[in-house]
Chain A
Amino acid sequence: MMTANEIDDILRQYPEAGRDALIPILQDVQDIQGYLSKDAVVRIGECLKLPPSKIYGVATFYNQFRFQPQGRFHIQVCRGTACHVKGSAAVLDRLQRELGVASGETTRDGIFSLEVVACIGACGLAPVISVNGEFHAKLTPDSVVDVLNEYRQKAESSAHA
């Protein structure tokens, strides 16, 4: 998590900021922190004179903001048109059930986080997911579980190492 000082460093880049600076500030905080923490939202609110409920309202309007730290493996599921036609809904559904989290959430063990994205520009590989930037192509609800297991093994072996 970011320290109060790190948040203030970002806020200092927006001298005399008003409410119109909210979204860029939230983006900057998320870039560094990986998500928007309660502390960050409260601090930004104090600075911009905005109540936390309003900031949360704005942030939840956009898909890009998340409120839990990212997992060690961040899974982006493409829900663009080509992926949709090729069955990405079933892939997402399987992932959510397998991990027990919804989009925007992180598993309790902190290993996986899930995010739904519009199109990641790999339509030829549909349906596609990206895990920490690594693409996995032409998935089915069954093969996506194999992909998950690969990463589970990685997590486990590094835990033993």
Chain B
Amino acid sequence: MVKLTLNDRHIEAREGELLIDAMERAGVRVPTLCHMKDLFPSGACRMCVVEIDGRRGLVPSCACPVEEGMDVKTHSSRVVRARKTIIELLLANHPDDCLYCVRNGNCQLQDLAEELGVRERRFTGGRSHHDLDVSNPAIERDPDKCILCGKCVRICEEVQGVAAIDFVGRGSRAMVGTAFDQGLNLSSCVNCGQCIMVCPTGALRERSSLKDVMEAISDPDTFVVVQHAPSISVTLGEEFGLKPGTDVVGLMTTAMRRLGFDRVFDTAFSADLTIMEEASELVHRLSTGGKLPMMTSCSPGWVKFVEQFYPDMLENISTCKSPQQMLGAVIKSYFADREGLDPKKIFSVSAMPCTAKKFEATRPEMARHGLPDVDAVLTTRELARLIRMRGLDFNDLEPSNADTPFGERTSAGKIFGATGGVMEAAIRTAYHLITGEELQDLDVKAVRGMNGVKEAAVAVGDLEVGVAVANGVGNARKLLDEIREGRDDLHFIEVMTCPGGCIAGGGQPIGTDLDKVRERMNALYKIDSEDSIRVSHENPAIKRLYEEFLGEPLGHKSHELLHTHYTKRETVM
């Protein structure tokens, strides 16, 4: 233990700990625009500076290890003046368009200007200008709003292992950009949106589809359907002041109807459908000597990651489309037939925790006869915006259920929202397919939780199935490298692009942190533990879909509608 003095109070800190962490535990918060827990400190923004007795200059507490006897002042007038000056300098090179900004009211730069009492423009001068990058269907970049904190660069490289962006240029001309300053669409970006989640300003944001969706809803000739992803019912409530992990599926369904959607479907239904196809594919590969380990394909950032960085492993990826795309495909075929609707008149929307889903929906292979399976994708944030825009008093709505024929789900489909969920759901059904019996204990605890890579050996009859779950594509990289080098004890691998899975996706509410992610995860597993049907193959609506339309898993219709293929991509085009 190290003893130090913090604002005239004696506190204890752990040996080697960073000052900012010791201060936080002692209940003293200093502002920061660049600090990221668990990553190597960068000391870029200088907002966390403190005065340490005996040191000449102010010291950034995020990059300063504690020392015995330190005497630290966190809010002396010198320190506060320095912080205010930094904000004033940042604002001197920032557009004055807060009222028009997507992060208005939710911006760390704005908050700090308020907190530090910035009331006038002290510095003026030439502002740097760079073009808006709207090349990408998922993520927009506005370098004019960038304060060069570097968090997007670090999460992209150090956490996700993608490194699509980096600092380009030097000094006053420095900016965050892609290789050769090309559009983000030509870079190695996997569209995960984790950069948006860490951006303190509006420099990174989703490419909004709100306008398209509102236009479709107001067109009387268009039949507008919406599907909602398993994870967003446990995150949307946070946008309306509810505790993290509150399940608002009923309120959300009612809200969607009030917004004017003609049908509300649950993507957890098609998650069950994915499990039917994917578990069958796994059993098929196991029994016919197919390419192993099989890897999941529901996370579109991960799929693009493999296409770019591990094209030699594309055959390992399951041919199953993701739940979003499967539901999109059966909406414009089975559902259209059943309701006597022209598929061309259907506008299919999905509400997702994810920015990469926007990219996925635009992939040319995700269409049939020139009609895209899914027409527009909204993030959780956009859905919340739409609800607020329509003046709905969200918390006072009367809960309701999703519509037939795609409204019934099992809790196996629901846990898709957390890392390990797809694996657990697939194991439950694969066990049934192989042994003809149900798994004794449906909880596969070894694949749950927040560890970057989780592994288990699951006994299925007399077969031992090696499974691994990676969350965060940076973690998947380690696993793939092991397999490239000859590791062969794994049969099935689940990868979620974002650390934590969809509950921590790049389309979720801004301000997501590890505590909130844990609450959301607990909420999903609580739903699972209380549900009456916990295996996808017992979903009555799924059985009906196979009886009336699809035939059998991996059958002819399935191949036409629910399966696809992927191709190698360059990282720089």
Contacts and interface: CB of A to CB of B under 8 A. Distances in A.
Interface of A: 38, 41-42, 51-57, 60-62, 67
Given A38-B572, A56-B179, A51 B168 contact: no
B169 A51 contact: no
Nearest to B571: A52
A67 B182 CA distance: 12
A53 B169 contact: no
A38 B157 contact: no
B164 interface: yes
Given A38-B572, A41-B572, A42-B571, A54 B180 contact: no
B402 interface: no
A61 B167 CA distance: 9
Contacts of B170: 60-62
A56 B571 contact: no
Contacts of A57: 166-168
A56 B157 contact: no
Contact of A61 (B163, B164, B169, B187): B169
22 contacts: A38-B179, A38-B180, A38-B572, A42-B572, A51-B163, A51-B164, A51-B166, A51-B188, A52-B179, A52-B188, A52-B571, A53-B163, A53-B165, A53-B177, A53-B179, A54-B157, A55-B179, A56-B168, A56-B177, A56-B178, A60-B170, A61-B169
Interface in B93-129: none
Contacts of B177: 53, 56
Given A53-B163, A53-B164, A56-B166, 17 more contacts: A41-B179, A51-B157, A51-B163, A51-B179, A51-B571, A52-B179, A52-B180, A52-B188, A52-B572, A53-B178, A53-B187, A54-B163, A55-B179, A56-B180, A56-B181, A61-B170, A62-B170
Contacts of B166: 51, 53-54, 56-57
Interface residues on B, range: 20 to 34
B572 A60 contact: no
Contacts of B572: 38, 41-42, 52
B304 to A, nearest CB: 15
A33 to B, nearest CB: 15
Main secondary structure on chain A at its contact with chain B?
helix
Contacts of B178: 53, 56
A52 B572 CA distance: 7
Given A41-B572, A51-B188, A67 B168 contact: no
Interface string B513-527: 000000000000000
B507 to A, nearest CB: 23
A49 B169 CA distance: 21
B528 to A, nearest CB: 39
Q: What are the 4 A-B residue pairs with the smallest beta carbon separation, nearest first?
A: A51-B163, A52-B179, A57-B166, A53-B166
Interface in B551-571: 570-571
A41 B182 CA distance: 14
Interface string B151-176: 00000010000111111111000000
Nearest to B182: A38
B187 A60 contact: no
Contacts of B169: 60-61
B484 to A, nearest CB: 14
Contacts of B163: 51, 53-54
Interface string B4-36: 000000000000000000000000000000000
Contacts of A67: 180
Contacts of A61: 169-170
Q: Which of A42, A60, A61 has the most CB of B within 10 A?
A: A60
Contacts of A54: 157, 163, 166
Nearest to B178: A53
Interface string B439-464: 00000000000000000000000000
Interface in B163-221: 163-170, 177-181, 187-188
Question: For B164, B187, B571, B572, which residue has the most chain A Cβ atoms within 10 angstroms?
Answer: B572
Nearest to A50: B163
Nearest to A55: B179
Nearest to A63: B170
A30 to B, nearest CB: 15
Nearest to A61: B170
B56 to A, nearest CB: 29
Contacts of A53: 163-166, 177-179, 187-188
Nearest to B167: A57
Nearest to B181: A56
Nearest to B187: A53
Contacts of B187: 53
A158 to B, nearest CB: 32
A53 B165 CA distance: 6
